[in-house]
Chains A and B, each alone.
Chain A
Amino acid sequence: MDKKNLLEQFVQSVAKDKRTLEMFRYLVNNAYIRVVNYHNTNDRDIQRISREISYFSEHFVPVRVRDLDTFFETGKWPYEKPGLIPAVFEGYRSHFDIMREILDRYHFTGWFYIPAFFSEVPAEEQYDFCMNHRLRTRGEYMYPDGRIAMNGEEIARLSENHEICCHTGTHYEITEETTDEDMYREIVASKKKLEEYTGRPVDVFCWLAGEEYQYNKKAQKYLRMAGYKYVVSNLKIEKIV
């Protein structure tokens, strides 16, 4: 392909979706953050995860919600090193037993995205709950008692050094067709449940499938009613109040 055609193809492809240029703008404008996403944190991966978190602690600073508050208030990242968020998804018990221990060892902060009502499912039903709610756990790493989710006490202890973020109530995909009752349960009641456990405000909500704030006008009402400060999607963290 000659240079003219290559350039034409390039321009067409980056202009095809406005989100591409939006992300370009965030990067040019220094308004971005690194995340490393984790789901299963099993015994067999302890060495690898330890290596990663150790590296993060040397080259980056951990991020608290208050650091984002400062960034948006002052327009300046408050540290010389960039921030990095280990984003740990789904509220698995192994996150408490394995990931928390590693993060605490290196004094690094994790953001734990927890479906709030997963913890209330009886242990013997949790595997089926995972299968029915798109939670990608692996049967071969089951605990003997069958409990897969963190319980309320573990979530409370986790919140002492880490950010607890709401990942809906039941790992539920909220769409424009979702009823008001379901929206309330998955956005508002779920936040209250996590706050009951932790005794601290839960400021961050994360969609399933990573949609951004603007995509669901109806959900905005419930996000505001609940009192979240930030909404996390695949591409961005949005400050909404």
Chain B
Amino acid sequence: MKTMQDVLQTLVDQDLDQYREVIDYCGTRVTADEGIPAIIGLDDLTGSWDKTYEGAKDDEELHMMMAAGALIFASLYEQKTKEELGHYPAIAPAMSAVAERFFTVDENGDEVQYREVVKDFLKK
């Protein structure tokens, strides 16, 4: 299982060009007509703020990578202009990019991008 140390190491090791490529790809999607993936938080406003949760077993290896990825994507989206971001905060498109980049893992534990799901239907 990945730890916070793994997350920090991930941040250090990442090739940002891979993340920029995902951002470029996300920018080509037609949001009105395509299924657009995203990750959203779950928050219990009736409970205590420090409650901890146990996630799905199949996501054990992935959620920390998603967390690291969210910071990287958000930092890259923050470099865009207000016009490019529209009225959304940088973290909003970043969470969609996280879902695109870390949609699930395959049987070998390797990350699967969302575009792999729909690769037969991508516009050339």
Cβ contact within 8 Å between B40 and A234: yes
Instruction: Decide if A106 is an interface residue (CB 8 Å cutoff).
Output: no
Given A55-B117, A59-B104 in contact, is the A31-B41 Cβ separation under 8 Å? yes
**B95 CB–A CB distance under 8 Å:** yes
A9 beta carbon closer than 8 Å to chain B? yes
Q: How far is the CA of A52 from the CA of B70 in the complex (A)?
A: 23
Query: In angstroms, how far is the closest chain A Cβ from the Cβ of B121?
Result: 4
A59→B118 CA distance, assembly (Å): 14
Are A39 and B70 neighbours in the complex by a CB distance under 8 Å?
no
Binary contact readout A185-211 vs B (1 if CB under 8 angstroms, 0 otherwise): 000000000000000000000000110
Q: Does A48 contact B (CB under 8 A)?
A: yes
CB-CB contacts of B78-110 with A at 8 A, as 1s and 0s? 110000000111111011001100011000000
Interface residues of A in 24-64 (CB under 8 A from B): 24, 26-40, 42, 45, 47-49, 51-52, 55, 59-60
Give the distance in Å from the alpha carbon of A233 to the alpha carbon of B41 in the complex: 10
CB-defined contacts of A28 to chain B, threshold 8 Å: 4, 7, 63-64, 67
B-side contacts of A48, CB under 8 Å = 34-35, 118, 120-121
Assess whether B22 is interfacial by the CB under 8 Å rule. Answer: no
The SS class assigned to the A binding surface is: mixed
Q: B75 contacts which of A9, A19, A26, A59 (Cβ < 8 Å)?
A: A9
Contact of B74 among A13, A234, A236, A238 (CB under 8 A): A13
Residue among A9, A23, A45, A71 with the highest chain B CB neighbour number at 10 A: A23
Interface string of B13-54 (1 = CB under 8 A from A): 000000000000000000111111111111111110001111
How far, in whole Å, are A28 and B66 apart by their CA atoms in the complex? 8
Cβ-neighbour of A86 out of B35, B51, B104 (below 8 A): B35
* A235 interfacial by beta-carbon distance below 8 Å: yes
Whether the Cβ atoms of A20 and B58 lie closer than 8 Å is: no
Chain B residue nearest in CB terms to A213:
B45
The answer on a CB contact under 8 Å between B47 and A77 is no
Give A51 to B118 CA distance when docked, in angstroms: 7
B71 and A32 within 8 A (CB): no
Question: Inside 8 A of B56's CB, which chain A residues have their CB?
Answer: 77, 79-83
Does A52 contact B118, Cβ atoms closer than 8 Å?
yes
Report if A133 contacts B (CB, 8 A): no
Which residues of A have CB within 8 Å of B47? 72, 239
Determine whether the beta carbon of B43 is less than 8 Å from that of A239: yes
| Set B45, B63, B117: member contacting A27, Cβ < 8 A | B63
Which residues of A from 128 to 150 have beta carbons under 8 Å from B? Answer: 136, 138
Chain B residues packing against A (C-beta within 8 Å): 4, 7, 11, 31-47, 51-59, 63-64, 66-67, 70-71, 74-75, 78-79, 87-92, 94-95, 98-99, 103-104, 117-118, 120-121
Q: Enumerate the 5 nearest inter-chain pairs by beta-carbon distance, A residue then B residue, closest first.
A: A30-B55, A26-B41, A27-B67, A236-B41, A13-B78
12 other contacts beyond A77-B55, A235-B40, with CB at 8 A cut-off? A26-B43, A30-B52, A30-B53, A37-B31, A51-B118, A51-B120, A52-B118, A55-B117, A77-B56, A235-B91, A236-B43, A240-B46
